[in-house]
Amino acid sequence: MTTAQQTGYRLDREELLRIRDRKLLTSDRDYLFFALQIDYPSKLNPSVDVTAFCERWDLSIGNFYKALGDLKNKGVVIDLTNHLNLQMQQE
């Protein structure tokens, strides 16, 4: 593999915030999905401090739970509990 083939697009917190600020990503569902992937990479069942997460990602708690419900409806989030342990479905 050449260096050009190994190089990819890295989505980190700053880039995701920049994308959202530029209104290139307008769905809270999609925004939450990527934010979870950045903060909890490869974790099948992360424990999320919702308040801290929402502050870090500039997301209201209500929008967080709405987006989480949307992710559950899409089959991405398998389980929702009061403690909010997410089981992210791996494909």
pLDDT digits (tens, 9 = 90+) for 29-81: 999 999 999 999 877 778 888 999 999 999 999 999 999 999 989 888 876 55
Judged against a pLDDT cut of 70, whether residue 26 lies above it is answered with: yes
Q: Residue 24: what pLDDT? A: 95
Collapsing DSSP to helix, strand or coil, 89 comes out as coil
Question: What per-residue confidence (pLDDT) applies to 86?
Answer: 60
pLDDT at 45: 76
Domain extent listing, the chain: 10-73
Crossing angle, helix 28-39 and helix 61-73, to 10 degrees?
90
pLDDT at 84 over 60: no
**pLDDT above 60: residue 3:** no
What residues are paired with 47 via a beta bridge? 85
Tokens 């089959």 — which residue?
Answer: 75
pLDDT of residue 82: 45
Whether the predicted model's global pTM rises above the 0.85 cut? no
